[in-house]
Amino acid sequence: MVLKNDRYTYRVTWSEEDSEYVALCAEFPSSSWLAKTPEAALKGVKKVVAEVISDMKSNDESVPEPIACRHYSGKFMVRVPPEIHRNLAIRAAESGVSLNRVVSSKLSQ
């Protein structure tokens, strides 16, 4: 089974522990596939995801929306210790920029 218009987020990486490539899907973190080649690992995890989605649909469960299709506002709240907040505010003031710009710059590094 293959998903039509598959827009899920996949990653293939080497697993030293397994001595094989492992493919993962961000939207289905419990699904993975091991194979000797990256291509085979990707093909395997895509098949697993398609099967999981089929099972979810047959059980009237909601299927996760692909990350690529989600809309993001660009806003989220992060809690940090007061000392870090103070240090970032000082850095922003000394640089003549907003706290938001300092934090955004740090996160993009």
- Model confidence, pTM: 0.74
CA atoms within 13 A on the CB side of 51: 8
Cα separation values, 63 from 32, 33, 53, 73, 74, Å: 17, 20, 6, 22, 24
CA torsion angle 34 39 42 45 (round to 10): -50
**Per-residue confidence (pLDDT) for residue 20, from 0 to 100:** 98
pLDDT tens readout for residues 78-102: 999 999 999 999 999 999 999 999 9
Question: What is the arithmetic mean of pLDDT over 57-82?
Answer: 95
Q: Is 109's pLDDT higher than 90?
A: no
Long-range contact list for 16-25, CB < 8 A, 24+ apart?
A: 25/49
Question: What is the arithmetic mean of pLDDT over 29-52?
Answer: 97
- The answer to whether the beta carbons of residues 9 and 26 sit under 8 Å apart is yes
Distance CA 50, CA 36 (A): 21
